Amino acid sequence: MTTKKSTRKTKTADKKKRSPAKKAPARRPRTTTTKIEDVKELLEQAVAEEEMVLEVPGIRAVTLYGDLDEKRGSQIVSELFTYHEMMTIIDQKLKSLDAKTRKKMSENIAHKDPIKFLISTFGGSAVDMFGIYDAMTMLKDAGVELHTIGSGKVMSAGVLLLASGSKGHRLIGKNCRVMVHSVIGGAHGSSHDIQNEVEEILQTQQQYLDCLAKETKMSVSRLNKLISEKRNVYLSAEEAIKLGIADKII
């Protein structure tokens, strides 16, 4: 036992005599954020250190599971617009840098990855559907690639949202069920009140068909004929692709 203790002391003494090895500078970890106020600060750090990779992962995966109501609709629109604002801030900063730094930063900042919009819904509010549709259109016009993915059930309002993804990137599950129907509404009160509500329902339906025709292979007249034959028109994934609602099965 004495010998072992003596050996340990000798080894310890040898270690102390050796000069400590220099550690390689630690690479800054990937930083993620979904807050606008964080983006500007992180960009300044990224420019100064030229090490940071900035990501906004939560915003790039938007989901609609269940019914579409005002609360969920406003959340989705907020997420889409937040992503767009972040992208604008980053682009403006990159433009202010010299060419060499801009090139390096562009390679490191993952801010232009496509948005993935996962949809599984029975439908819901037409007003909130149009709000999301407008936000999606704005992003596509700004050059953002928007992937839509239909899973399980894509019905009513969800059909337009699935069809509104970037062409070639509208995906659908093999066993997903798609359902298209006319706008549903109701009215009560005086005859003038009922007439007013009926006019609004018809206007909403025309707006829905116009938007759906724009995003698919179907004309407004064909859509009108389709939903007039049956109250609810159910489609398989393959049929949805033929009608231009989706592009390919996953």
Q: Distances in Å between the alpha carbon of 245 and those of 9, 154, 168, 180, 204? A: 76, 10, 11, 10, 20
The two three-digit tokens of residue 184, written as one number: 């549903």
β-partners of residue 233 are: 180
DSSP code of 97?
Answer: S
β-partners of residue 120 are: 65
List 84, 169, 181, 236, catalytic entry: 181
Longest dimension (CA), the chain: 106
Instruction: Tell me the C-alpha distance between 96 and 104, whole Å.
Output: 13
74 counts as catalytic: no
List 111, 147, 151, 156, catalytic entry: 156
The two three-digit tokens of residue 151, written as one number: 């899973």
181 counts as catalytic: yes
Length of the chain: 250
| Catalytic residue annotation | 156, 181
